[in-house]
Amino acid sequence: MVISTRRWTPTHGDPYRPVPYRPDRISPTQSLSRAAELRARMDERRTVRQFAPDPVPLQAVRDAIACAATAPSGAHQQPWTFVLVRDAAVRRRIREAAEDEERVSYDGRLGDEWLAALRPLGTDEVKPHLTDAPALIVVFQQRYWLGEDGTKRKHYYVDESVGIAVGMLLSALHLSGLAALVHTPSPMRFLSEVLGRPANEKAFAVIPVGYPAPDCEVPDLVRKSLDQVMTEV
Ligand code: IYR
């Protein structure tokens, strides 16, 4: 297996220049066993809110981000930026700002119906995972393309593209043995300020990454069964 090292440059307006695509086919039997194994592995993934302070193998996190960046995107515009934050002081500033927003949210901004929906998850405004986890991946969506000369160009299906990439990121982290959490403090503007991101980028999620704390607990959730989420035509 070889990873391409060609560097991306803007392709806007380029002609269609197809190349052959001939991936090896695995047998149906191999597909069945891979799919069954993946299904069982993915079923073991849990959102973790209590992290051990232990460091994580950083290249595994970088590889997971590279996996996420293989996601399909609208017009192949790849409208994402992943900021990997390890600096403890920056994580502390993110935690303080996030908790300031969450306090307002849990004190009433969310409303009774939303708070009732969250009750079984046991979440509150205290966000220790933002400083306990050894790394945060802050995902930004590029609402539009911003050239070095200030040229702006529309990006298409940005929410969908970044959502797919984050799904692939979570899968890659989990399959690499790392725990994660999708945290969406709202509003998230403070993340652009703390991390000095440009005007075309908008924070999408903060993803703490690490190992579960030895005393980690998770809610006793039940996933919908296959027949509850799928119908065949
Ligand atoms: N952003 C808040 C609230 C929250 C909202 C949803 I929807 C969740 O699934 C979990 C939490 C927080 O992070 O606590």
* Chain segment 96-147, per-residue pLDDT in tens: 999 999 999 999 999 999 999 999 999 999 999 999 999 999 999 999 999 9
Ligand 1 geometric centre to CA of 100 (Å): 14
* Bridge partner residues of 183 (DSSP): 206
- Domain with 67 in it: 49-213
Domain count, the chain: 1
Nearest in space to 85 (alpha carbons), one of 196, 184, 8: 196
Q: Is 227 helix (H, G, I), strand (E, B) or coil?
A: helix
Q: Tell me the per-residue pLDDT of 53-86, one tens digit each, with 9 for 90 and over.
A: 999 999 999 999 999 999 999 999 999 999 999 9
% of the chain beyond a pLDDT of 90: 98
Ligand 1 geometric centre to CA of 123 (Å): 7
- pLDDT the model gives residue 41: 98
- Domain-embedded: residue 150: yes
C-alpha to C-alpha distance for 93 and 85, rounded to whole angstroms: 11
- Domain-embedded: residue 23: no
C-alpha to C-alpha distance for 215 and 124, rounded to whole angstroms: 18
Ligand 1: residues within 6 Å at CB?
102, 105, 118, 121, 123, 183-186
What's the predicted TM-score (pTM) here?
Answer: 0.97
Instruction: Take residue 29 and report the two structure tokens written for it.
Output: 């039997």
- Domain-embedded: residue 73: yes
**CB of 68 within 8 A of CB of 166?**
yes
Ligand 1 geometric centre to CA of 176 (Å): 25
Pairing of strands 135-142, 80-85: antiparallel
What is the atom index within ligand 1 of the atom nearest the CA of 185? 1
- Residue 53 sits in a domain whose CATH number is 3.40.109.10
